[in-house]
Amino acid sequence: MNFDFAAQAPKLMMLLWGLVAFAVVVGGLLILLDVVPAFFARRREAQLVAASAGGGVPLPRRTKPREGLFALFFLLPTVLLLMIGLVVPAIRTTLLSFMDGGSQNWVGLDNYRWMFAEDAIVRVLINTLVWVTLVPLVATGMGLLYAVLVDKARLESLAKSLIFMPMAISFVGAAIIWRFVYAYRGEGQEQIGLLNQIVVSLGGEPRQWLLDSPLNTLLLIVIMVWIQAGFAMVVLSAAIKSIPADIVEAARLDGVTPWQMFRQITVPSIRPAMIVVVVTISIATLKVFDIVRTTTNGNYDTSVIANEMYNQAFRYGQNGQGSALAVFLFILVLPIVIFQIRNLRQQRREG
């Protein structure tokens, strides 16, 4: 047992400083906004009293509390942080994507041309496409299936918790969990990975699952589906529960089979929720980075855009190429989000 408490002291000091700074900013802001207007109100009152007593003193001008000023202070930290942390950087990244690796010279569209010319990067783009088609579909499908199956079942909340649990596990943790499932030991040795054990006990030969392309990409996708299905299940389950009971009852009196019920009542009723789920998972999938990095580090043809962006910008020092990949990622996300916004507005109009 060896743990150096003294080494932790500077960190805890830093934490304390952070919290103090935080208290000063937020507390200070609220107190300032509370005290200053109150001070002016009191002074005005005093002036009024003086004016009514003294007779000759002109009545002070009526000062109206300025709503806009309050809004400004309430919004200031957020807007400032967003400007420094997101808006300006995103614009800079777009500019950097037209510059060379060291961000010195303008190179026009070279970085984008490189993206589509380099075989390795085209592979990355194809992988990303496979991820973003498969993960949302399979995860939503699994989530929906499970939500329907356990609806009103005994131990429903326990059953849901089991599927939902991976949401709390980090991508890194999940990747390690599944690497263990895919673990390989030579033929003839006892297997320690569950998947190879199953294959062996069915009479097959153990395989190095994570080395064989394109199978390895699919196996990494399994990890993401494993994590996201719980999210889909919870949202869809809530949507199913909000279907009006009389519709379900009427359908049942008409003697529909469970399958008809599912096709004709359940799915149409929860369509908006399904769209939201698919969109949310698609966006999360496009940005996924940790799973690939922890399992294969992007080797063996498994890399995706988000991972390659990290490699280019932070490992190889190719800011231009990394930025171009980030911009491309943004372009991929954009239509998905516009689609969602249009959907929401349509829903509002109908609802």
Site for other proteins in 205-244 (CB under 8 A): 226, 229-231, 234-235, 238-239
Comparison of 130 and 275: residue with beta carbon closer to other proteins? 275
Read off the tokens for 190. 């006892």
Asked if 92 touches other proteins (CB under 8 A), the answer is: yes
Site string for other proteins, 128-157 (x = CB under 8 A): --------------x--xx--xx--x----
Pick the closest to residue 282 from 172, 170, 135, 174 (CA basis): 135
Report if residue 300 touches other proteins, rule: CB under 8 A: no
Task: For residue 172, state whether it binds other proteins (rule: CB under 8 A).
Answer: yes
Residue the block writes with tokens 């998972």? 281
Distance CA 201, CA 161 (A): 31
CB 311 within 8 A of CB 298: yes
**Which residue in the set 98, 112, 178, 209 belongs to the binding site for other proteins (CB under 8 A)?**
178
**Ranges within 37-76 binding other proteins (CB under 8 A):** 37-38, 65, 67-68, 70-72, 74-75
Q: How far is the CB of 57 from other proteins (least distance, A)?
A: 25
Contact positions with other proteins (CB under 8 A) in 257-286: 258, 272-273, 276-277, 280, 283, 286
Q: Give the angle 273-274-277 at the CA atoms, nearest 5°.
A: 90
Q: Which is closer to other proteins, CB of 57 or CB of 330?
A: 330
Q: Which two tokens stand for residue 329?
A: 């990622």
Give the dihedral sign, CA 165/167/170/176.
positive
Secondary structure of residue 350 in the 3-state scheme: helix
Q: Please name which of 339, 312, 336, 340 lies closest in space to residue 324, comparing C-alpha atoms.
A: 312
Name which of residues 318 to 347 contact other proteins (CB under 8 A): 319, 322-323, 325-327, 329-330, 333-334, 337, 344, 347
What minimum distance in Å lies between the beta carbon of 3 and other proteins? 5
Tallying the residues shown for the chain, one arrives at: 351
Contact region with other proteins (CB under 8 A), list: 56-64, 86-94, 109-117, 125-133: 86-94
| Single residue of 24, 50, 120, 192 touching other proteins by CB under 8 A | 192
103 neighbors 63 (Cβ within 8 angstroms): no
